[in-house]
Chains A and B, each alone.
Chain A
Amino acid sequence: DIQMTQSPSTLSASVGDRVTITCRASQSISSWLAWYQQKPGKAPKVLIYKASTLDSGVPSRFSGSGSGTEFTLTISSLQPDDFASYYCQQYDSYSLTFGGGTKVEIK
């Protein structure tokens, strides 16, 4: 199975900060990567798919980049609604896998 490693696992930041989360794949997955946001007690919500395509309705402060084995999710200016957990997911293989998650906390 393809392993997905996210870093950091926890991130403390302030409103207005630029935030970057990294996801590394154990083998090349081309651009077959999605990012999700999850708030406590709620289902995940897709933010980005195919590494850099913003889903409909997602604010433009979110962006994704990368290909192959290294990917990033960037929030250009952190807003109060963005404090949540974020997960990457690869879909290059038929055995789908998620990263371990990054919790973005208020500094």
Chain B
Amino acid sequence: EVQLVESGGGLVQPGGSLRLSCAASGFSFRTYAMSWVRQAPGKGLEWVSAVAGTTTSTYYADSVKGRFTISRDNSKNTLYLQMNSLRAEDTAVYYCAKGFATSVRGAFDIWGQGTTVTVSS
């Protein structure tokens, strides 16, 4: 069964850091682009960051550029999101999503269940 399982969310103070993980199973992880997509409470979906399959090129939304870092460990079939200098507006459910293909320019066919990040003092 193709599956993505996120972890690492929690409550963090403004300015703090958090690292999210996404464990993948049931498909050839190294081949596919992977993304993080977030959803603030009561709001719509916002793409955060992506990493390509094979080339591992990375891409970021302007709202997180310079603060967040996406990475992947193909030996562990795991995607990461290192989040630094967190702000209240980063509060959201963070989803890990698998792309249809190697390129990040694609739709998402598999999503995790999400992990909640709350930035508050």
Contact = CB atoms under 8 A, between A and B. Distances in A.
B50 interface: yes
Interface of B: 35, 37, 44-47, 50, 59, 61-62, 95, 100, 104-109, 111-114
Nearest to A32: B105
20 contacts: A34-B108, A36-B108, A43-B112, A44-B108, A49-B106, A50-B107, A87-B44, A89-B45, A89-B47, A89-B108, A91-B107, A94-B59, A94-B104, A95-B59, A95-B61, A95-B62, A96-B47, A97-B47, A100-B44, A101-B44
Interface in A52-106: 55, 87, 89, 91-101
Interface string A10-29: 00000000000000000000
Contacts of A39: none
Contact residues on A (Cβ < 8 Å of other chain), bracket: 20 to 34
Contacts, number: 61
Chain A facing B: main interface SS:
loop
Given A55-B109, A94-B59, A101 B104 contact: no
